[in-house]
Chain A
C-alpha cells in the first residue's frame, strides 16, 4: 500500500474494501488508533467497541459474497447534533449531558444501512449555534492547520476530524453556514443540500426552516457518495422533499453536452455577485454604516479559483444579489425566533438536565435553563423571544419573513442568467481562538456569504480553493438552484481534477 489508510478518502477506501485490498476492521483499527491520540477536541464520544463490531460484520458480509454499496465498511462519525441510539447525544450542551436517545436520526440510520462504521460523535457548537465551535459545553475544537485557530462552526468537530485525517468523512448540519464555513476554515469539502433533501428527523432542532444535514469530506466525489446515502424522502419529516432517490455520484461523473477532456465545464455559466467580491458595507447598528470587506487574501484566492473555472470552459460572469447584507438581520431574527421555541422542550421535566434544588415550578424552570444552557444559546433564546413578542412580531419576525422571500427571489433573478453562483464562503480565513469572545456580533457579520443560500433554501458547497493569511485554507462557495446538487458536485469535481488544494493536508495529519 503506497498511500496510508488515513490518507484515503471515501471513494478510495470503498474501492479498496470492495477489492479486498484492505478490511474494514483494519481501517477501523487504524483510525481508532489515530483518534486515541487526537488533541483537537474533535470527538465527544468514541464508540470503539461498536465500531469494531460493525466493521467485523461488514467484513463477514463481504466474505460471504453479499453485494455491498460503495460506503460499506467505510468509517465515519456523526456531528453530535444527530441523535443516536447506541451513543450519547449531547448537542454540545450541558443540557443533554448523558442523554441517551432511544432512536437513530434518519440520516444516521440511512448511513448505517449503507454499511458505514460509526466511530463516534463529534464536537459542535451548543445546539449548532456558533461559527467557531467555541460555544460547545465540552470545550473548543482546534484547527488542525494551526492549533491556535478555530476550525469554524458549528460543525467544527466534523471539519477538524476530516481535515486531520482522523476520518474520511463526517456528517454535519448547516443552518446558516455550519457545514460550508468549517469546511472552508479547515480546508475540506462540504455540501449543504437543498432544504428538504436530507431528513431532519433525529436532528436536534435549532432553526427548523433552515436546518439541513450534509456531509463533510475531502473531495466532491466523497461528498457525492455520502449525500446519496444520507438523502431522500422521509415520511417522518413533513418538510422532506418528495423526490426519488438521487445518485449524486453518477451526476458528478456525467459528461456535459459540448464538453471535452480539456474543457469539462464548457457551457457552464458561473455568476459572481458584485456585492460579494467588492468591499461589503455592513450595517452594524441602526443608523450607522461600517465598511468592512472580504480580506485581500481571500479575494485573491477566490479570483484565482475563478480563473481555473474559466480555464475548464466555464463562463464566469457578473450577477447581483442586492440584498446580501440584509441576510444578516433577517437570519438573526428568524433563526433565534425558531430556536427560542424549539429549545422550550429543555425544561427539566422529561429529560436532560434538571436543577438539583428549587422551591417551586418557576424556579425549577429558571435554574434548570440557567444552568443547562450556555451564553450564546441564552442570547439567541432572548432575541427570539423578543422578536416573537406581542407588539414586535410584525416589525421583526413578519418583516424578516418578507425579506427572506425577496432574498430568495434575488437568487432566481441570478439563476435566469447563470447555472451556478460562486464566491467566498467567509470574509476571512479561520481566526484565533478567543478572538471574538467579546464581540458576538462580529461573528454574526462573518456569516454574510453563507446566510443568503440558507435563507433561500438553496444548495451550497465549499471547496478548498487556495491558502491565505497564515497559510490557512480558503474555501470557494458554489451555490446552485433548488435540487441542483448534481450540478454543484459536477463543477466541484472538475475543479478538483484540475487542482490539488483538496489533497493538501495539515502537518498534524501526517
Chain B
C-alpha cells in the first residue's frame, strides 16, 4: 500500500469490519423467514426465542455463501471451523449468547482489489466468519418501556474483517464500495444498506510516520458510505487534536451521530465485556469437504475484475468504461444484453454512463429498476448509428421511452417527426433555400469569415426543424459554396 497524504503530519490507519447479511430465505440456525419488515416478532420461531429445549441447526445455505465469498477473495476456506458462544446479557439477545466463530473462522485471509484515484489498491482480509444477528430493541412508542423485536434474531451474517491496511477515509470508502459490489455480485447479500444488510465498523487510529500503530477507537454501525467518510474524517481530527494537546487516546467504542457530524464514546475499554467465548457444544465443528468447495466454485459467476478485462479486450471499451459497466452484476448483464442486440459496445457504454446513469441517479433507482429495457436501448443506439436520429433527437426519444415506458422506438421517431433528413434531394432544396435567403452570410463566408458558415448550418437546422443530418448538410453547403 502506498502512503496516503499525511494529515497534520499524522498517518491515518483504518481497518474495517463489515457485517454482510447473507441472503438465505431462512435463518442461520432455524427455519424462520429472514424477510425484512414483518410485524414485530412474527418471524421468530421457538429456536429464535431461545425457548427451553430448543437447539440450533446450521443452515447450509449460509455456509454456501461463505464459501462463495472465500473463493471470490482468494481466501482459504477452512476444512474445519468452530462455532463459539459469545456470552453477554441484553434483552434483544434471546439466548444470552451469540453464536459466532471465534478462534477458527470459515474464511481465512484473502484480499479485495479496487481503484482509488486512478491507482490500483489491495486490502488484505484477516478473516470472514459466520454468525447470527441479534434482535432489535425499540425504545420509542412503548411508554417508557423497551420493546423487543426478535424478527432479526438469528439472521445469518458474514463478518468480514480487514487488516489495518487503509490510510485514508477515501480509501476505506472505496474498499467498502468494492466489497459491497462484490457481495451483491456474488448473490450472497442484497446489499440494502438502509435495511442494515451491509454495515461497517471502522477501527481508526493515527500515528507519526514510522512509529508503531496508535491506539484505535472503533466507530460502530456505519450504514452509508457518506457517513463512513464523515465519521472517519471527524474521528481523525479528534484524535489528532487530543495528541496535539498532549493527551492520550483511550481504546473505546464510539458511535457516529449524522446530525452533529461527530463521534461520541459508547463505552470504554474498562466497561468492555468478558464474553467468555467457548466452543458451542450444541454444534459440531463445521466440516467443509473439498467436494463442497468445488461444487460452490463451479457455480461461481465471472468476477467483476475478470469481466471488466474481457469488456476491454473483446469489446474494445476503454478501461474506465469497462469498470463502469461492471459496477454491479445487474449493470453488466444490462450492458451485455444491449450490446448483443445492437453490436455497438462503445455507443451502449456511452448511453449507460450518460443519459441512463443520469436518469437512474435522479430517480434513485438501480439498473434493475430501469424502465427502458436493454433491447429498447439497443434499438435507440442502432437508430443513432444508422443516422436516423441525431443525438438531440435520441435524447427526446429516450425521454419518451423512460417516462412513458414505451418500447416502440421507430414509431416514436415517426410520431415525433425526429427522423433526420438524409435524403440528398430534400436536403439540397433546404440548402439552396438557405443560401438564397442569407446572402449576407454567404458573402461573409466567401470573404473568409468561417463563423458565417456555422450560422448558415444553424439556419439549415432551423428551417429543417432540426431534422437535417448536420454532417450531410455541412458537406452539401460546403460543396455549394465551393
Instruction: Assess whether B274 is interfacial by the CB under 8 Å rule.
Output: yes
Of A203, A238, A350, which one neighbours B50 at CB under 8 angstroms? A350
A207 to B55, CA, bound (A): 13
Of A200, A204, A208, A344, which one neighbours B87 at CB under 8 angstroms? A344
Determine if A238 and B53 form an interchain contact, defined as CB atoms under 8 angstroms apart: no
Determine if A89 and B57 form an interchain contact, defined as CB atoms under 8 angstroms apart: no
Instruction: Assess whether A510 is interfacial by the CB under 8 Å rule.
Output: no
Known: A365-B89, A385-B276, A389-B276. A204 touches B52 (CB 8 A): yes
Instruction: Assess whether B38 is interfacial by the CB under 8 Å rule.
Output: no
A201 to B282, CA, bound (A): 10
Of B55, B148, B274, which one neighbours A237 at CB under 8 angstroms? B55
Determine if A91 and B58 form an interchain contact, defined as CB atoms under 8 angstroms apart: no
Determine if B276 and A341 form an interchain contact, defined as CB atoms under 8 angstroms apart: yes
Determine if A345 and B87 form an interchain contact, defined as CB atoms under 8 angstroms apart: no
User: In the assembled complex, which residues on chain A have CB atoms less than 8 Å from the CB atom of B87?
Assistant: 340-341, 344, 388
Instruction: Assess whether B283 is interfacial by the CB under 8 Å rule.
Output: yes
Number of residue pairs spanning A and B whose beta carbons lie under 8 angstroms apart: 100
Offer 29 A-B interface pairs, CB within 8 angstroms, sorted by A. A83-B52, A83-B53, A89-B53, A91-B52, A99-B52, A201-B53, A201-B54, A202-B53, A202-B54, A204-B53, A208-B281, A235-B57, A236-B57, A238-B56, A238-B57, A239-B281, A239-B284, A337-B278, A340-B276, A341-B276, A344-B96, A345-B94, A345-B96, A347-B89, A350-B49, A350-B94, A350-B148, A388-B276, A393-B278
Q: Shortest distance in angstroms between B55's beta carbon and chain A's nearest beta carbon?
A: 5
Determine if B57 and A208 form an interchain contact, defined as CB atoms under 8 angstroms apart: no
B26-80, CB < 8 A from A: 46, 49-58
A204 to B97, CA, bound (A): 16
User: In the assembled complex, which residues on chain A have CB atoms less than 8 Å from the CB atom of B278?
Assistant: 337, 341, 388, 393, 397
Q: Shortest distance in angstroms between B247's beta carbon and chain A's nearest beta carbon?
A: 28
B268-304, CB < 8 A from A: 274, 276-278, 281-284
Q: Shortest distance in angstroms between B29's beta carbon and chain A's nearest beta carbon?
A: 9
Determine if B282 and A208 form an interchain contact, defined as CB atoms under 8 angstroms apart: yes
A85-106, CB < 8 A from B: 89, 91, 96, 99, 101-103, 105
Q: Shortest distance in angstroms between A224's beta carbon and chain B's nearest beta carbon?
A: 26
Of B55, B89, B283, which one neighbours A344 at CB under 8 angstroms? B89
Instruction: Assess whether B458 is interfacial by the CB under 8 Å rule.
Output: no
A462 to B53, CA, bound (A): 26
Determine if A361 and B85 form an interchain contact, defined as CB atoms under 8 angstroms apart: no
Instruction: Assess whether B91 is interfacial by the CB under 8 Å rule.
Output: yes
A sample of 17 more A-B contacts (CB under 8 A), given A200-B55, A238-B57, A350-B94, is A99-B52, A101-B53, A103-B51, A202-B54, A204-B52, A204-B53, A208-B282, A237-B57, A238-B58, A239-B281, A239-B283, A343-B96, A344-B96, A351-B49, A351-B51, A351-B52, A388-B276
Q: Shortest distance in angstroms between B386's beta carbon and chain A's nearest beta carbon?
A: 62
Instruction: Assess whether A390 is interfacial by the CB under 8 Å rule.
Output: yes
Determine if A347 and B52 form an interchain contact, defined as CB atoms under 8 angstroms apart: no
User: In the assembled complex, which residues on chain A have CB atoms less than 8 Å from the CB atom of B53?
Assistant: 82-83, 89, 101, 103, 105, 201-205
Q: Shortest distance in angstroms between B84's beta carbon and chain A's nearest beta carbon?
A: 10
**Closest chain B residue to A202, Cβ basis:** B53
Determine if B55 and A238 form an interchain contact, defined as CB atoms under 8 angstroms apart: yes
User: In the assembled complex, which residues on chain A have CB atoms less than 8 Å from the CB atom of B276?
Assistant: 340-341, 385, 388-390, 393
Determine if B283 and A238 form an interchain contact, defined as CB atoms under 8 angstroms apart: yes
User: In the assembled complex, which residues on chain B have CB atoms less than 8 Å from the CB atom of A202?
Assistant: 53-54
Which 7 A-B pairs give the minimum distances between C-beta atoms?
A344-B96, A208-B281, A388-B276, A209-B281, A202-B53, A83-B53, A345-B50
User: In the assembled complex, which residues on chain B have CB atoms less than 8 Å from the CB atom of A341?
Assistant: 85, 87, 96-97, 276, 278
User: In the assembled complex, which residues on chain A have CB atoms less than 8 Å from the CB atom of B282?
Assistant: 205, 208, 238-239
B residues contacting A by CB (< 8 A) are 46, 49-58, 85, 87, 89, 91, 94-97, 148, 274, 276-278, 281-284
Instruction: Assess whether A471 is interfacial by the CB under 8 Å rule.
Output: no
User: In the assembled complex, which residues on chain A have CB atoms less than 8 Å from the CB atom of B55?
Assistant: 200-201, 236-238
A175 to B116, CA, bound (A): 58
Instruction: Assess whether A349 is interfacial by the CB under 8 Å rule.
Output: yes
Determine if A338 and B281 form an interchain contact, defined as CB atoms under 8 angstroms apart: yes
Interface centre among B58, B85, B276 (most CB of A within 10 A): B276
A202 to B54, CA, bound (A): 6
Of A96, A344, A385, A393, which one neighbours B52 at CB under 8 angstroms? A96
User: In the assembled complex, which residues on chain A have CB atoms less than 8 Å from the CB atom of B49?
Assistant: 350-351
Q: Shortest distance in angstroms between A338's beta carbon and chain B's nearest beta carbon?
A: 6
A205 to B284, CA, bound (A): 16
Known: A102-B51, A201-B55. A361 touches B284 (CB 8 A): no
Convert A213-241 into 0s and 1s, putting 1 for each residue whose CB lies closer than 8 angstroms to a CB of B: 00000000000000000000001111100
User: In the assembled complex, which residues on chain B have CB atoms less than 8 Å from the CB atom of A83?
Assistant: 51-53
Determine if B95 and A345 form an interchain contact, defined as CB atoms under 8 angstroms apart: yes
Q: Shortest distance in angstroms between B175's beta carbon and chain A's nearest beta carbon?
A: 31
Known: A83-B52, A238-B55, A351-B51. A344 touches B91 (CB 8 A): no
A234 to B66, CA, bound (A): 26
Q: Shortest distance in angstroms between A354's beta carbon and chain B's nearest beta carbon?
A: 11
A237 to B282, CA, bound (A): 8
Q: Shortest distance in angstroms between A91's beta carbon and chain B's nearest beta carbon?
A: 7
Convert A38-60 into 0s and 1s, putting 1 for each residue whose CB lies closer than 8 angstroms to a CB of B: 00000000000000000000000
User: In the assembled complex, which residues on chain A have CB atoms less than 8 Å from the CB atom of B57?
Assistant: 235-238
Q: Shortest distance in angstroms between A18's beta carbon and chain B's nearest beta carbon?
A: 33
Q: Shortest distance in angstroms between A81's beta carbon and chain B's nearest beta carbon?
A: 9
Of A99, A101, A349, which one neighbours B91 at CB under 8 angstroms? A349
**Closest chain A residue to B92, Cβ basis:** A349
Interface centre among A207, A239, A347 (most CB of B within 10 A): A347
User: In the assembled complex, which residues on chain A have CB atoms less than 8 Å from the CB atom of B58?
Assistant: 238
Q: Shortest distance in angstroms between A387's beta carbon and chain B's nearest beta carbon?
A: 9
Q: Shortest distance in angstroms between B80's beta carbon and chain A's nearest beta carbon?
A: 15
User: In the assembled complex, which residues on chain A have CB atoms less than 8 Å from the CB atom of B52?
Assistant: 83, 89, 91, 96, 99, 101, 204-205, 345, 351
Of B50, B91, B148, B274, which one neighbours A390 at CB under 8 angstroms? B274
**Closest chain A residue to B58, Cβ basis:** A238
Interface centre among A236, A237, A338, A393 (most CB of B within 10 A): A236
**Closest chain B residue to A211, Cβ basis:** B281
A137 to B454, CA, bound (A): 100
Of A101, A236, A337, A393, which one neighbours B51 at CB under 8 angstroms? A101
User: In the assembled complex, which residues on chain A have CB atoms less than 8 Å from the CB atom of B46?
Assistant: 102-103
**Closest chain A residue to B56, Cβ basis:** A238
User: In the assembled complex, which residues on chain B have CB atoms less than 8 Å from the CB atom of A345?
Assistant: 50, 52, 94-96
Convert A386-419 into 0s and 1s, putting 1 for each residue whose CB lies closer than 8 angstroms to a CB of B: 0011100100010000000000000000000000
A238 to B29, CA, bound (A): 10
Q: Shortest distance in angstroms between A399's beta carbon and chain B's nearest beta carbon?
A: 13
A351 to B54, CA, bound (A): 14
**Closest chain B residue to A90, Cβ basis:** B52
A258 to B353, CA, bound (A): 86
